[in-house]
Amino acid sequence: MSSGLLALEDGTVFPGESVGAPGFACGEAVFTTAMTGYQEVVTDPSFAEQLVCFTAPMIGNYGVDGARSESAQPHARAALMREARGPAWTDWLHETGVVALTGIDTRSLVLKLRDSGAMRAVALTRAEDRDEAIALAQSLEPMNGRALVADVSTKQPYVWSESGAVRIAVVDYGCKRSILRRLVRAGAAVTVYPHDVDADELAGYDGVLLSNGPGDPEPLATEVAVLTELLGRVPVLGICLGHQLLGRAAGFTTSKLRFGHRGANHPVLERTTGRVLVTAQNHGFCVDASGAAEVTHVSLYDGTVEGLAFPKLRARSLQFHPEAGPGPHDAWPLLENWIDEVALAA
């Protein structure tokens, strides 16, 4: 192993040892509190342009498996760990081009990010480039205002599954494979479309799912305009970024969270039942807190909107991940129930 470091935009430096690909990685330093699912995290397109700090002290202890990947390639720019175990995990990081550091004081890093918010950062596998790394971090474009879906969305439509009781179109803003797998298990035939698909194409399906994805929803004006044209024509379910875009199409506002919601232990209040769901989440932006009647779910951490429902428009959305890949399964029925409702209306 060679000496490396993580440099934050405020000049703070965390030393570590390189266990992944050589070189450097630039992006936004964030943390996830999930105890498992490290491979799913690194391959989740929602982590595009981010350096991910794992709060769990040991990462890589159960190896890797191609079936766990949420996309065809890693999207996180770097993995930051207290203790990386291998060799399967570290070999995989190296082979797939992910910069990775072990020996990072992740406790101090997380406290820093909680106090100061997610920060621009650079991970390096050459510790002697400290000053250059800090200067580079300070020059990076902030995440606010960044439209990233075009970089992670499919370029052409494709069929994921041909058989099913209902035909579902998935708009790929950075879709996780586990969402597609859950749709198929629920009885759907699934076709995936690029982020810039038009409303008329989507309206020909029994239902439309708006996927998760990276970046700021505010600059995605074209995608919001398509949803505005689509609403009321076909049942719609939004997840994560899809939830934020649906919210903006319905007149709700969005903003950047201080350090985001990332992990598999986030409590969410289901307003109609009073039940608390333990959920999997991964987002740095949110639909702002609101007392509107359309709000169905609320974060018990900060009161931000975690769910919306528009019965007359046959549209709803969830900020958390009902497919739970990985994560607790409290929200699994929500996706299956939506498919059942679409089937009854088809």
Q: Which residues pair with 51 in a beta bridge?
A: 29, 78
Q: Is 321 a catalytic residue?
A: yes
C-alpha–C-alpha distance, residues 341 and 28, integer Å:
39
Q: Is 323 a catalytic residue?
A: yes
CA distances from 103 to 87, 97, 132, 133, 171 (A): 16, 19, 21, 18, 39
C-alpha–C-alpha distance, residues 198 and 225, integer Å:
10
Q: Are 50 and 156 in contact (CB under 8 A)?
A: no
Classified as helix, coil or strand, 291 is coil
Q: Which of 26, 53, 240, 286 is catalytic?
A: 240
Residue type, position 292, single letter: A
What's the number of CA atoms in the CB half-sphere (13 Å) around residue 91?
7
Q: Are 135 and 116 in contact (CB under 8 A)?
A: no
Q: Is 53 a catalytic residue?
A: no
C-alpha–C-alpha distance, residues 118 and 109, integer Å:
10
Q: Which of 9, 17, 40, 323 is catalytic?
A: 323
C-alpha–C-alpha distance, residues 86 and 129, integer Å:
27
CA distances from 183 to 64, 66, 309 (A): 24, 20, 20
Would you give the end-to-end CA distance of the chain in angstroms?
58
Q: Are 317 and 246 in contact (CB under 8 A)?
A: yes
Q: Which residues pair with 29 in a beta bridge?
A: 51, 119
For residue 333, what are its two tokens?
């029925």
C-alpha–C-alpha distance, residues 114 and 84, integer Å:
23
Q: Which residues pair with 18 in a beta bridge?
A: 2, 101
* H/E segment holding residue 310: strand 305-310
Active site residues: 240, 321, 323
